[in-house]
Structure 1
Amino acid sequence: MTPFAQTAAQTDHYDVIVIGAGPSGSVAASLLHQQGKRVLVLEKQHFPRFSIGESLLPCCMQVIAEANMLDAVNQAGYQFKNGAAFNANGRSTYFDFTDKFTPGPGTTFQVERGDFDKLLADTAASQGVEIRYGQRVDAVDLSHNPRLTISDEQGASYELSADYLLDASGFGRVLPRLLDLERPSNLPSRTAIFTHIQDNIDSVDMGDYHFDRNKILISVHPDNRDIWYWLIPFSNGRCSLGVVGEPHLLGQDADLEATNLEATLIRLVREEPRLKQLLSRAEIIRKPAKLAGYSANVSTLASDKFALLGNAGEFLDPVFSSGVTIAMQSASIAAKCVVKQLNGESVDWQTEYAQPLMRGVDTFRTYVQAWYDGRFQDVIFYQDPNPKIKQMICSILAGYAWDESNPFVAESERRLNMVVELCR
């Protein structure tokens, strides 16, 4: 036996097992591998696979750089993004992410997630991270070292152990389900209907209105501002198109059946005049799908045996595209804590992981709730904004929800209400 040969028993144990190879899983695995930790990523699906959450925020570019993935992302040819545009009842406004309060990147990309997630996973693998696709986690035992029971695609079952587990399974929420950690969200149950289109916007005469492919477009329904639409341009002439609202606002139960989703989406788009005109030549190129009751919460985010990353822990709402940023931020914070614990140091997972992560999540939550109750929409569409205040709010929309030097992060609810009163 050579000095470097391993027995079967040795290969059954890892420093860290990561469940899920999406953005948080690939980034966390890369960061841990860079610190010399033996990491295995288990992914149920095969990449590329479809996912929404296609409009990144500039803040996440810092974590992409931290994981040494920035060159790969910059060279991939994705749609450049420098801000967010908003439309309601013929009124338009926008936020330029380069004109913000918080230092850091002000631009990012809009990406088809199937390709983007595969790029991150492939980059992690090229760095030396081991990824196994087509692997389903069936059970977890935390009585000693964390131990997983896994099924492969041939139906064979096997076990692996690790010193630590990271759940990056997104909406699959593997550990919350297996460990009974799921708790109701404090946000109302909403439904998103979405598709991809060949937008053909260039051939549409919009008069004085200019559509900017460098920005996500958020439109508000003219009669009910609890309903909103996303339009995310890609670099190939396509867009991601979606509509979000509480189910009863989107139509009858029958409208939300799989066979009626396309007709429901088309009907709702035609109810918003500017979007109707903008997409008058668009062609649907992907069968519409829906995501219902997506907001989620858990009883605990982490312990000395596991941590939940991104959507596996908490998902708010797609309105400000915070999902991938929260996922990557959670990966960065958790990786530092894992390395510290594996190196024999004591980690207080509540104060060193959960609380720092939730500071940003709770900032986003303030603005999500204020979007739906109308307060933040009043601020966004105010005609004469204070430039300094707009820069501070712009920082949050750009993902910098953890910057507590920003008064609109440090005191998110009070500061927002103050501006709401001024605008009203």
Structure 2
Amino acid sequence: MPATEATTSAAEHWDAIIIGGGPAGSTAASTLAMAGRRVLVLEKAKFPRFHIGESLLPYNRKIFDDLGVWEKIAGAGFTKKRAAQFVMGNGSRANRLDFSKGSFTEYPEAVQVERAKFDDILLHHSREKGAAVREESTVIEHRVEADRVVIKYRAVDGSEHEVTAPYLIDASGLTNFTANRESLREYYPGHKKIAIFSHFSGIDMPTGEEEGDILIVRREKSWCWLIPLAPDKTSVGLVIDAGDFKALGKKPQEVFDEAMADTPAISKRFGNARISEEMHVVADFSYKNETLVSPRVIRVGDSSGFIDPMFSSGVLLAMTSGQQGARVIHEALETRKPLTAGMKRYEKDNRKRIAIYWEFIDNFYKFHFAQIFFQPYNRWGLVCSINAVLAGRTTLSFAVWWRLRVFFFLAWLNKHIPVAKRIKVS
């Protein structure tokens, strides 16, 4: 039976300590607690709290089922997401990927979530499964010793405490706590972006069978998302190159407003738009870490790296890494070795998952790729293979793999030979 915080507060020694209570951290906590491990989560915020990354993928469902949390999510009233629409900024073309129609896609739908509510559900679930959760607890120091990790944190009342465990799971998100202390962060070349976003009411979103679809709008050098969270609440964001933003010499609100106004595919939906949440800005958010595992430390979620949210992969990748990372730590606790084969396997697997989406992201900004992507041609099931990945399938069968390789080869070839009809893609 997992220990609770009340029964272990005097000991302050745990099987594992997790920094961060977001989707990666709470998934890791629930997984370890369900395996009978004594786990402590240190979360700097007080939940619920605002967060971006609101569009989930169908393959999240498997993890929800593994954690036993699906009924809570299904009963929370979140918007159903059956498809993703990729739209040209000029409004001339759109590519709708219906998850229920993909030959290689096992899960037909997902949900659009308000992260404040969604993350709170996951963290409360971790508590119910036996994990100890301390909110408003800011980690200020970590030290790796021969047989343990020592963590110092500051509680909400200003008091400082020390806790220990054989292993640490860093799920600190963009804070990237342990990696930054070890100077491991590396930015993707040419992908320094700024995201400007907020929640709005009055947005004219698709209805009927397209109700609940996320809209990804491609502009010439940037892109926008529109995510329906509720009948009259839509998350809208602009992702723009940091250099382009700086060259404009304007405030984020001005840049955002001008982008909405001069993008026909969006401006037609913004006639009655009213902002309902303060404008948020996140800068330089696409990065990777030189290593995802160190002696007695494993990094999951955004602490293992963060990529452009264009294909809504963030929560899926975070929870998948949190689950695998926790399982690896559960195994490591049998030997208590500082660095195990399982930890190294986790790093390899996580990099593979991220690479699948990075290939799409890196190419989406390129003219020759967009020419193919916005003129879908399902011969040999190529579109079905894309559908599977964009639905969240990260373990690729050979049938999916070879089709993706053909698709990306055709996109590359299109740069040199007009494989697809030349169309305007901005």
- TM-score for both structures, normalised by structure 2: 0.89
The aligned residue for residue 108 of structure 2 is 106
Query: 1:27, 1:64 within 8 Å by CA — same for their partners in 2?
Result: no
The letter of the residue matching 2:185 is E
The aligned residue for residue 225 of structure 2 is 230
The aligned residue for residue 96 of structure 1 is 98
Secondary structure of the structure 1 residue equivalent to 2:25: helix
Pair 299,248 (structure 1): closer, same or farther in 2 beyond 3 Å: closer
Task: Compute the displacement of 1:247 (Å).
Answer: 2.6
Pair 298,108 (structure 1): closer, same or farther in 2 beyond 3 Å: same
Figure out how many residues of one structure are paired with residues of the other and give that number. 408
Distance 2:420 2:298 in 1: 41
Pair 8,319 (structure 1): closer, same or farther in 2 beyond 3 Å: closer
The aligned residue for residue 360 of structure 1 is 353
Distance 1:126 1:335 in 2: 17
Secondary structure of the structure 1 residue equivalent to 2:210: coil
Pair 52,381 (structure 1): closer, same or farther in 2 beyond 3 Å: same
Query: 1:140, 1:149 within 8 Å by CA — same for their partners in 2?
Result: yes
Instruction: Give the counterpart of 2:236 among 236, 241, 244.
Output: 241
The letter of the residue matching 2:170 is D
Distance 1:414 1:345 in 2: 44
Distance 1:160 1:13 in 2: 6
- Cα deviation 1:276-299 (Å, max 9, x = unaligned): 011211111112121110011112
- Cα deviation 1:160-214 (Å, max 9, x = unaligned): 1011111111111111122332233345201111010003427xxx9xx989332
- TM-score for both structures, normalised by structure 1: 0.90
The aligned residue for residue 293 of structure 1 is 284
The letter of the residue matching 1:148 is I
Instruction: Give the counterpart of 2:274 among 265, 274, 283.
Output: 283
Distance 1:371 1:133 in 2: 39
Distance 2:190 2:246 in 1: 20
The aligned residue for residue 308 of structure 2 is 317
Distance 1:5 1:385 in 2: 54
The aligned residue for residue 204 of structure 2 is 201
Query: 2:216, 2:226 within 8 Å by CA — same for their partners in 1?
Result: yes
Structure 2 runs not aligned, ≥5 long? 414-418, 422-426
The alignment yields a C-alpha RMSD, in angstroms, of 2.5
Secondary structure of the structure 2 residue equivalent to 1:177: helix
Task: Compute the displacement of 1:7 (Å).
Answer: 9.2
The aligned residue for residue 335 of structure 1 is 326
Query: 2:376, 2:383 within 8 Å by CA — same for their partners in 1?
Result: no
Secondary structure of the structure 2 residue equivalent to 1:47: coil
The aligned residue for residue 416 of structure 2 is none
Indicate whether 1:218 and 2:210 are aligned: no
Distance 1:387 1:379 in 2: 15
Distance 2:35 2:94 in 1: 47
Task: Compute the displacement of 1:154 (Å).
Answer: 2.0
Query: 2:104, 2:400 within 8 Å by CA — same for their partners in 1?
Result: no
Distance 1:345 1:333 in 2: 17
Pair 345,40 (structure 1): closer, same or farther in 2 beyond 3 Å: closer
Secondary structure of the structure 1 residue equivalent to 2:293: coil
Query: 1:173, 1:311 within 8 Å by CA — same for their partners in 2?
Result: yes
Query: 1:220, 1:227 within 8 Å by CA — same for their partners in 2?
Result: yes
The aligned residue for residue 130 of structure 2 is 128
The aligned residue for residue 119 of structure 2 is 117
Moved more, 345-354 or 311-320: 345-354
- Cα deviation 1:62-117 (Å, max 9, x = unaligned): 11211111111111100000110011122122001122243532211001111111
Indicate whether 1:31 and 2:28 are aligned: no
